[in-house]
Amino acid sequence: MVLYHSEVDNCLLIYASATLLYGGTILYRAKKNRVEKAIPFLLGILLLFALEILCFATLRSYLGLSLFSLACLIFCIYTPTQAMLPVDRKAVLITGSDSGIGHELAKYLDHLGFTVFATVLNDKGPGAETLRKTCSERLSILRMDVTNSAQIKDVYLEVKRKLQNEDLWGVINNAGIMGYTADGELLPMRSYKQCMDVNFFGPVELSKTFLPLLRKSKGRLINISSLAGGIPMPRFAAYGASKAALSMFSGVMRQELSKWGIKVVAIHPSAFRTGIQGNPELWNKEEQNLLDNLTPDVKKDYGEDYIHSMKTMLIHIPSFSASDFSPVLYDVTHALLAVHPHGLYTPGKNAYKFLLLFCYSPLWFYDFFMSKCMSPPSIPSALRVTETKSKN
């Protein structure tokens, strides 16, 4: 069929209008239902775009427009939707609410209408005082160290007493430490044990303690892991290993607890400005502890200048960390209220991209990429000597 210019222009205008109408509807549904990261959804968008070009280039008629409209309609109908549960009479327990993600979560969930039990290390500290001033009377502040079994039991009894007619709907294991960042060979065993105690054994014990309440409510167990718990990252041997253990625990519990109606979720945030990296006073103390525990040959091979350079990464963490916590807050809320929550959320800039790169690219390419992204400011002393000799 031969179309005149006016007919082509009209057809093009109709195609453009249909694209805006269907595209806007699809993107709105995607944003509302939190499916913007789903690979099948993105592939569907690309296929629709290719179909539109094909229909216009080959058919150039209302038949082509009809086929394209039908495809968009089918895609809209079958785009995954997520029914959300009401907040009414739902109570959640959040660990590590002194600062960072736990602190922001406590305020945000209280604002949404949840009954919040926020555990803190220091119930007289600035974080606890801020929660008291800014949150409603529904929020309770409870002192707890996740490595202290007696305190976990006390909090369990207190939560059970305060629940009255409500059920505990969610347990959010957020409390965590990062420790000092350095090559795995340099880190003392104390750093590994401390990270495992706080980031893994603590959440496991707390989960086991509160699971009877979650079985009763058929609620949610949410573990805040880390991007470092999903992909290997240089100088995060202790922290990454503990978070990887927590992620694996989440996956196993997700399978085992499904028969009880409990949904288990792992959250892998990228870098957020939480202050988890500590402060210069703490870094100096950890660095001295590291130096005191090194054998003479290891200290000689690495060199003290290389060891001192490890602090550079800690100093620069805030510069590439996001100050807006909303991606984490939205994902945790979705994990709490969606009828069918995802098993894994990756809030934050580039978190999903790094995970895809690790899962689908050759390891040599991933290792090369990470060496460029996270290369240390200097190289070990023994390697510098070897490099100088080879040049000579």
Q: Which residues are catalytic?
A: 239
Q: Are 264 and 250 in contact (CB under 8 A)?
A: yes
141, β-bridge pairs: 118
Query: Distance between CA atoms of 381 and 174, rounded to whole angstroms?
Result: 39
- Residue 240's alpha-carbon distances to 161, 184, 285, 368, 377, in angstroms, are 36, 11, 21, 19, 21
CB atoms within 10 A of CB 59: 16
> CA–CA separation, 18 vs 247, rounded Å?
44
Q: Give burial (CB, 10 Å; 0-12/13-18/19+) of 177.
A: middle
Structure tokens at 69: 């409209």
Residues in the chain: 392
| Phi and psi torsions of 233, nearest 5° | -130, 135
The amino acid sitting at 337 is L
- Secondary structure (DSSP) of 50-113: HHHHHIIIII-SHHHHHHHHHHHHHHHHHS----B---TTEEEEES--SSHHHHHHHHHHHHHT
Query: What is d(CA 89, CA 166) in angstroms, rounded to the nearest whole number?
Result: 6
